[in-house]
Structure 1
Amino acid sequence: MQLFLFLVLSLTTLLLCYAGYQILVVDRREEREMVEDSDLFQAIDDKNYDFELPIEVDEYDEKKRELDMGEEPADKRTLPLKLLERAKADIPRIEQLEKDHPRMARLFQRGLLPYHVWEQLLEAEQVMDAEVNTVQAEAELLQKGWGQGVFSQAYQMLRKDREDELRMEQMQKEAAVLTLKFTKPSGGVVTMEADGRKITQQTPMVLRKESAAEEVSFKSEVTAEMVLGSGEDKRTFCTQIPEFVLDVEQEKQWKQIGSDAAGLRLQVRFVRKSHGAKAGFAIEQIRATVPESAKNTAIGST
């Protein structure tokens, strides 16, 4: 019997210690993480929870009034599509409220969130609930049975938009723009641009249409700049040749622009378009090489 009581007391003590640990260590750590989480306060400006319905709400209501006044729509799908756009614009706000509520509730319970901000959050939720009910009711009026599926359909549209946006961002990160400038001894400048993706070693570049028609002199100063990616991932590489000379006797020839292994290197195929002392050359192919290790720098080479 005494052994049983001892075990019960020991277990109770362990549970109390664990509970104390949760309160003193885990909860405080979570509280600190929430306070330090800048995303948590993204919707709070000057201690206010700013919340507004999307502009698509007014756009739908305006279009509905126009149709109620007898205006004939160019497309019978006009109003349903407007409602879908409204529902699609509502979804990010619904997601934000679902994300904010539990975190802000914990801050409010610990006295870290002003009462009026908490009230504003609750009011925003009521507004959003009313908006969801309104959209579903409008969908049901437009087509029987659509009320239960309008937000599901809108979410599919939103998900596709987000996937397209991510795909575009990835393409921008992988994109490369090459600018070549050929300066004649007389001072005239010919500028050409080419595009590419995932530039590594000997990667082909595609001349833009307007650049493909340009011609350069057999002798010029050449500067080249390659810009990879965009935003924080943007990298720039440069190279220059003060005196670049093409062989006027050759119809086609490969030339290298840039020789520094830590910089931009180009292999360019030139095609002679005219003869004599004023021979002109067009660019037929470009292959680009950039160093993988360089980050966010402008590197020059000759």
Structure 2
Amino acid sequence: MYHVNKRKKEESQKFEFFDRLESAQFNIKLPPPVDEYYAVKEKASSAGWVPGQGKPSQESDKNTPGRMLGQALMKRAIADIPLIQHMQREAQGMYRLHGKNMCSEVQWRTFQGAEAMVSGEVDEVRAEAEEIEPGWGGMIWRQAAQYHGMLKQHQQQAAAKAKAEQIKKQGQPKVLTVEEQKAKADRVAKELLEQEMRENKGKGGKKK
């Protein structure tokens, strides 16, 4: 009886471990720019910014409260894009697994929590965009996705360029200083002299 209970306990612990492992992909947090946005919003409100008034996108001064708030919200939305894409990739598979009873309740609840959090963030960003400039709420996510794609492409190009330069640098011979060139020449001359002496010594031995 003891061994049976022990085996059941071990199996239970094993299943709990895999539940935690499978659920880890949905233990996500919102990125730092979310909190940063609200800090900027608080400063903007203190500076006299009023929700729903004005058109920051048409302001020439980039340092107005509305303009700075809009920039902070766009930064927030861009930072959210990877989370949204992650949930979009995983959602279809999770619903299919849950429909076939092929995922644990722990994993399903974790997924639902993550999905609700990301969905709430999407709605909240839209609402904030409307407060900053009426009509922006319907466009901000499309703009954020475009900017995120451009930034990602720029980062990939920069990484590829850096890698190519590193490979090129590694393939180039080292440029020696005058002192290093002289030392190398002396070393080669010494080696040649020693080689010649060995050869002469060998020839002398044969004559005997």
Question: How far, CA to CA, are the matches of 1:163 and 1:218 in structure 2?
Answer: 44
- Per the alignment, residue 113 of structure 1 pairs with 103
Question: What is the Cα deviation at residue 45 of structure 1?
Answer: 5.0
Q: 1:147 to 1:218 in 2, by over 3 A?
A: closer
SS at 2:187 equivalent: strand
1:59 partner letter: E
What does residue 199 of structure 2 align with?
none
1:220 aligned to 2:183?
Answer: yes
Distance 1:162 1:118, change over 3 A: same
Q: 1:243 aligns with which of 187, 193, 196?
A: 187
Q: 1:71 to 1:219 in 2, by over 3 A?
A: farther
Equivalent residue for 1:53, pick from 18, 30, 36? 30
Matches within 5 A, 1:1-302: 45-48=20-23, 49-70=26-47, 75-76=63-64, 77-176=67-166, 195=169, 215-221=178-184, 243-244=187-188
Identity of aligned residues (%): 24
Q: C-alpha displacement at 1:106, in angstroms?
A: 2.8
Q: Tell me, which stretches of 5 or more residues in structure 1 are unaligned?
A: 1-43, 179-194, 200-204, 223-241, 246-302
Q: Is the contact made by 1:94 and 1:128 (CA closer than 8 Å) also made in structure 2?
A: yes
Structure 1 residue 46: Cα displacement: 3.1
* Gapped regions of structure 2 (runs ≥ 5): 1-18, 50-60, 190-208
Structure 1 residue 163, shift from structure 2 partner: 0.5
TM-score (norm 1): 0.45
After superposition, the Cα gap between the structure-2 partners of 1:135 and 1:217, relative to the gap in structure 1 and judged at 3 Å, is closer
Q: CA deviation digits over 1:28-78, x for unaligned, max 9?
A: xxxxxxxxxxxxxxxx85343302111111110111012212389981221
Aligned-partner SS, 1:216: helix
Partners of 1:138 and 1:154 lie apart in 2 by 14
Distance in 2 of aligned mates of 1:56 and 1:123: 21
Alignment: residue pair count: 156
Aligned mates of 2:122, 2:103 — CA distance in 1: 27
1:53 partner amino acid: L
More helix by share: 2
Q: How far 1:112 moved relative to its partner?
A: 3.4
Q: Which has the higher contact order (CA 8 A, sep 6+)?
A: 2
CA positional deviation for 1:108: 2.8
Provide the rounded CA distance (Å) in 1 between the counterparts of 2:124 and 2:44.
18
Taking the aligned partners of 2:127 and 2:166, their CA distance within structure 1 comes to: 49
Kindly indicate which of the two structures has a greater share of residues assigned to strand: 1
Change (3 A) 1:71 1:140: closer
Which consecutive aligned stretches of 4+ in structure 1 deviate over 4 angstroms post-superposition? Answer: 71-74
Instruction: Give the residue type in structure 2 aligned to 1:148.
Output: G
Deviation at 1:156, TM superposition (A): 1.5
CA RMSD of aligned residues (A): 3.2
